[in-house]
Structure 1
C-alpha cells in the first residue's frame, strides 16, 4: 500500500497516559512518512466525534485492544466500515493481544511502518442483534459458585480467614464445582444443545471465509461451523473479546464476511 495523501491519527487517551514515549515514537514515524492530522480526544464522546470528522483521510488509531474495539464498533454503527479505507493501528498499552492475533506488529516502529507501507487485510466481523461487534473470540463462560462471604458483600474478617486456613490444613480443599447453564444453542438453525442439557460454556471463534467454529462444553459436547449462532435460555452473560455483555435471555450473532479492512505488513 503506497503512503496515503493524509492520515487522521486518533490517539487514545489511555495510551497517552500509560506510555507517552511509545505514542511519541509512533507519531514521529507516521509524520515522517505522510501528511498527518493529529486528534487527542479526552473522552469517548470526543473519540467518536474525531472519527466522524475524519472526512476522506485514512484513519489510524494509536491505542490498545479497547481502542480498536471502540473504533470498529463506531464505524460499524455509522455503516462506514465495509466501504471505507482499511484501518491503521499502532498498538500501545497493556492489552494488545487481540491486535497481535489480527496480524498487527507489537513493536511501535514496526506497526507504524506497517500503517505506511503495508497492505489491507479483509477480516470477518461477528455482529449481534443489538449491533455489538466481536473481532476475536466470543464465550459464554462457565458459572462458578460465589466464594465465602460473597452473599453478605462485606470484607472477610480475620476470624473467617483463620477458620478457612484451619480447614485447609485439616482436610484437602475439593476442586471448585462448576455451575452449569441451561441454554439452547443453535448454529445455522441446527440445534447443538437444548434447555434440558447441562452447558458448562460456549465458545465461538472465527474460521475465516464467513464462518465461525461453535463449540459447546457440557452434556452435548457438540461443535459445528456456522454463519449464525443463537444462544437463548435463562439470563446469561457472555464475553466478547474479553468485555462482559448481558445479562440477556437470547442473543444472535451473524458473521459478515470481509466486513472490514486492517492494514498489516506485506498483505497478511
Structure 2
C-alpha cells in the first residue's frame, strides 16, 4: 500500500463537540478508500505532537478554519511545511478560509477530495513573529464596516503591475502625489462605524505608500498572487473613503500606534510594527482535480 493510501486523520476537539455527525461521515468516507489511523488530540499540544508523529502517512485534518491554521502554523514552525501534503475536511462554524482556498463544502465532498484530489502549491504570508496567513490580512480587524465595499470608493485606483518595484519606482511618484493631495485636506474625524481612522506607516518592498500624517480607513493584504501579495490601502478624505491604493509586493510593513489586525480567522495584537513576507508556493493542499 502506497503512502498516499495511508492517512493520519487528526480530528480537532472542537469539531468533535460541535458536529459529531459530520465527523462520523468524514471518517466513514475516508476509511472506505484508504487505511486510516485516527488521532483525537485534546488540545494544541497534543495536536502538535500528532503532526510530528505522522511518519509517511498523509495528513488529514478534520476541523474548522482555526484547526487548518493551527496545522499550517505547527508545520511551518517545525520547518516541515514543504515536506507535507495537507488535506482538510471542514467541520465547524468557521469554514470561510477553507472554502476560499477551494476545499469543497460538506463532509462527503471534502472527504472524497482528500481521496481523489491533487495537491496544489500555495503561497504563504509569514510575519516577523513566525505567524502565518493563508488568505487575508485586515487592519482594522473587523472587516467591511470599517473598510467598506470594494465598489464604494470614489475615483480611480492606483494599480501597479508585478515587478513595478524594479522599474525605477516610476509608479511611486504617482502614489506619493496622490497621497500628498489627500493629506493637504482636513481628514474626517471618524470612520463610518464611529472609530477614528488609523494613522499608520505602510511600506511595500521598502517603499513608503502612506505615512502617519495620512489617516487610513483600512488595509487589506492577501496572498496567492503568483509570489506577490496584493496590498490595498484606503486613505480617508473629506467625508468619505478615498480611492484605494493597490500595489503588489513581496514584503509589507505596517507601523504606528498600537494596532490590531485580523489574520484569517484570528485577531492579533496590539503591536507597533509588523512585517509580512510572501513565501511562494510554500505549502501544499489537496484540492479537487
When the two structures are superposed, what TM-score results if normalisation uses the length of structure 2? 0.78
Which structure: larger Rg? 1
Quick check: 252-261 or 46-55, which moved more? 46-55
> CA separation in 2, counterparts of 1:242 and 1:217?
22
Is residue 255 of structure 1 aligned with residue 281 of structure 2? Answer: no
**Residues 1:70 and 1:93: Cα distance change in structure 2 (over 3 Å):** same
Instruction: Give me the CA root mean square deviation.
Output: 1.9
Tell me the CA shift for residue 196 of structure 1. 1.1
Whole-angstrom CA distance in 2 between matches of 1:107 and 1:63:
12
- In structure 1, what is the Cα distance between the partners aligned to 2:216 and 2:263? 18
Is the CA contact 1:124–1:260 (under 8 Å) kept in the aligned structure 2? yes
Instruction: Find the counterpart in structure 1 of residue 187 from structure 2.
Output: none
What per-residue deviation string (whole Å, max 9, x for no partner) do you get for residues 225-265 of structure 1? 11100001111111100311111111000000000000011
Equivalent position of 2:77 in the other structure: 77
Aligned counterparts, 1:223-262, within 5 A: 223-262=246-285
Which of 221, 226, 233 is residue 204 of structure 1 equivalent to?
221
In the TM superposition, structure 1's runs of 4+ consecutive aligned residues that sit over 6 Å from their partners are none
Cα drift, residue 108 of structure 1:
0.8
TM-score, normalization by structure 1: 0.84
Cα deviation digits, residues 66-85 of structure 1 (max 9, x gap): 1000000000000000122x
Alpha-carbon offset, residue 3 of structure 1: 7.7
Taking the aligned partners of 2:262 and 2:141, their CA distance within structure 1 comes to 11
User: Which residue of 2 is the match for residue 213 of structure 1?
Assistant: 230
In the other structure, the counterpart of 1:9 is 9
> How many residue pairs end up in the alignment?
235
Q: Residues 34-78 of structure 1, C-alpha deviation per residue, up to 9 Å, x if partnerless?
A: 111100011111111111111111100000101000000000000
User: Does 1:119 find its partner at 2:118?
Assistant: yes
Does residue 141 of structure 1 match 2:140?
Answer: yes
- Where does residue 20 of structure 2 map in the other structure? 20
Q: How does 1:26-105 map to 2 (within 5 A)?
A: 26-84=26-84, 86-105=85-104
Find the aligned partners of 2:216 and 2:96 in 1 and give their Cα distance: 28
Contact in 1 for aligned 2:124/2:224 (Cα 8 Å): no
SS for the counterpart of 2:16 is helix
In structure 2, C-alpha distance between the alignment counterparts of 1:114 and 1:242, rounded to whole Å = 23
Sort the Cα spacing of 1:120 and 1:98 in 2 relative to 1 into closer, same or farther, 3 A: same
CA distance in 1, matches of 2:228, 2:94: 26
Alpha-carbon deviations, 1:171-200, whole Å to 9, x = none? xxxx64330111100011121100111112
Q: Flag the 1:132–1:176 CA change in 2: closer, same or farther, 3 A.
A: closer
Mapped to 1, the partners of 2:54 and 2:286 lie a distance apart of 17
Separation in structure 2 between the aligned mates of residue 101 and residue 119 of structure 1, nearest angstrom: 17
With over 3 angstroms needed to count, the CA separation of the structure-2 counterparts of 1:31 and 1:125, relative to structure 1, is same
The change in CA–CA distance for 1:103 and 1:142 in structure 2 (over 3 A counts) is: closer
CA–CA distance in structure 2, aligned partners of residues 3 and 245 of structure 1: 37
Distance of 2:83 and 2:249 partners within structure 1? 25
The one-character-per-residue Cα deviations of 1:113-149 (angstroms, maximum 9, x if unpaired) are 11011000110000000000001110111799xxxxx
